[in-house]
């Protein structure tokens, strides 16, 4: 537990960093989700075991305290930057999933010295983005799926799409973790409000970090067209379209982790003038 700017943050470090080893990888989860929900992904991926993995509960989620007033994405980025300092790291690689992808973008833009490489999975550029399917977006307005496993089973196919429709065991595991450490109603509302007021579109072109953008081709929440638009704007970016839904990181952990590890270990990605640096014809299938 870390006390930062008057808030209590629940943080977990897995593995160790050495001066001559790879940078730690910070994982930022989606709306209402604890850092613990990354555990099945990390457990399934031995390829990432050579680096320190950092997860945390966002304010209002899990064991972290809930702010009295709604923080902005910019304020949350400052909080994460202070958390990195408190963990005595100069620089980390960052993976943001969904809502966490918005926070990861803001962190990379406002605090570029803290972020080495950036991975944006199943995410968008804020209120300027192409919206998801109405049925999925209406489910997102409520944290009910965190309180009722039965409700989560019912709405998961509509909300997440992809292989989650046929992976009941994964949903059972997720439901248990979600119900054990749900977000507070106020904390979930603060997260929704922060995202509704935020966009990265005006400054995506100024991101300096090598960036891997991954999107599912069957994502009801965030259509892949948003990833394509972001890849056009971010100068040093790669785009990977995945054969999957919103939770492809969990339904295809080994395949996605292999691609992520390749990116983290690779050289800088540079885009030729006037062309999008994107990967065509390469699909990860579950």
Is residue 281 pLDDT above 70, yes or no?
A: no
97 near 130, Cβ under 8 Å?
no
User: Per the domain annotation, does 150 fall within a domain?
Assistant: yes
User: Per the domain annotation, does 121 fall within a domain?
Assistant: yes
Domain count, the chain: 1
CATH value at residue 120 = 3.40.50.1820
- From residue 207, alpha-carbon distances to 83, 104, 116, 146, 211 in Å are 21, 11, 11, 34, 9
User: Per the domain annotation, does 50 fall within a domain?
Assistant: yes
User: Per the domain annotation, does 117 fall within a domain?
Assistant: yes
User: Per the domain annotation, does 177 fall within a domain?
Assistant: yes
- Average model confidence (pLDDT) across the chain: 87
CA dihedral 15, 41, 229, 240 (to 10 degrees): 100
DSSP E strands: which ranges in 35-81?
53-56
What pLDDT does 275 receive?
34
pLDDT tens profile 91-134: 999 999 999 999 999 999 999 999 999 999 999 999 999 999 99
Please give the Cα distance from 244 to 286 (Å, whole number). 7
User: Per the domain annotation, does 78 fall within a domain?
Assistant: yes
Q: Which of 66-75, 79-88, 177-186, 274-283 has the lowest mean pLDDT?
A: 274-283
User: Per the domain annotation, does 166 fall within a domain?
Assistant: yes
Number of neighbouring beta carbons within 10 Å of residue 171? 20
Please give the residue range of the domain that contains residue 168: 2-265
pLDDT tens profile 173-230: 777 777 778 899 999 999 999 999 999 999 999 999 999 999 999 999 999 999 999 9
209 near 115, Cβ under 8 Å?
yes
DSSP E strands: which ranges in 167-223?
211-216
- Active site members: 98
Please give the Cα distance from 108 to 105 (Å, whole number). 5
Calculate ∠ Cα 231-204-161, nearest 5°: 50
Is residue 171 pLDDT above 80, yes or no?
A: no
What pLDDT does 87 receive?
95
Please give the Cα distance from 256 to 259 (Å, whole number). 5
User: Per the domain annotation, does 281 fall within a domain?
Assistant: no
Which comes out higher in pLDDT, residue 49 or 84? 84
145 near 221, Cβ under 8 Å?
no
Structural Rg of the chain based on CA atoms: 17
pTM: 0.90
Here the tokens at position 208 are 């300096």
Shortest CA distance to 242 belongs to which of 131, 157, 147, 119? 119
The residue-averaged pLDDT of 233-259 equals 91
Please give the Cα distance from 49 to 42 (Å, whole number). 8
Element (H, E) at 25: strand 25-28
The residue-averaged pLDDT of 13-42 equals 87
Q: Bridge partners of 56?
A: 11
81 near 110, Cβ under 8 Å?
yes
57-95 b/e (C-beta count within 10 Å ≥ 16 → b): bbbbbbebbbbeebbebbebbbbbbbbbeebebeebbbb
- From residue 23, alpha-carbon distances to 52, 104, 116, 207 in Å are 7, 16, 8, 19
């Amino acid at each position: 537990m870390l006390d930062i700017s008057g808030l209590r943050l629940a943080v977990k470090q897995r593995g160790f960093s050495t001066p001559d080893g790879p940078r730690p990888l910070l994982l930022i989860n989606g709306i209402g989700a604890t850092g613990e929900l990354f555990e099945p992904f990390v457990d399934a991926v031995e390829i990432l075991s050579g680096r320190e993995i950092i997860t945390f509960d966002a304010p209002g989620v899990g064991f972290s305290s809930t702010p009295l007033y709604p923080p902005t994405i910019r304020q949350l980025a400052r909080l994460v930057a202070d958390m990195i300092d408190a963990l005595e790291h100069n620089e980390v690689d960052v993976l943001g999933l969904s809502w966490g992808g918005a926070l990861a973008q803001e962190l990379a833009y406002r605090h570029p010295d803290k972020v080495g490489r950036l991975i944006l999975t199943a995410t968008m550029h804020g209120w300027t983005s192409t919206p998801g399917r109405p049925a999925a977006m209406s489910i997102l307005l409520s944290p009910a799926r965190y309180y009722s496993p039965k409700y989560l089973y019912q709405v998961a196919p509509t909300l997440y799409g992809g292989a989650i429709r046929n992976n009941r065991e994964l949903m059972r595991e997720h439901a248990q973790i979600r119900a054990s450490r749900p977000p507070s109603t106020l904390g979930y509302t603060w997260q929704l409000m922060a995202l509704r007021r935020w966009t990265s579109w005006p400054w995506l072109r100024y991101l300096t970090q090598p960036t891997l953008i991954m999107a599912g081709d069957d994502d009801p929440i965030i259509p892949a067209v948003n990833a394509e638009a972001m890849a056009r704007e971010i100068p040093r970016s790669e785009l990977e379209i995945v054969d999957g839904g919103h939770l492809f990181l969990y339904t295809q952990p080994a395949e996605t982790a292999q691609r992520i590890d390749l990116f983290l270990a690779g050289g800088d990605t540079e885009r030729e003038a006037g062309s999008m640096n994107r990967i065509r014809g390469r699909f990860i299938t579950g």
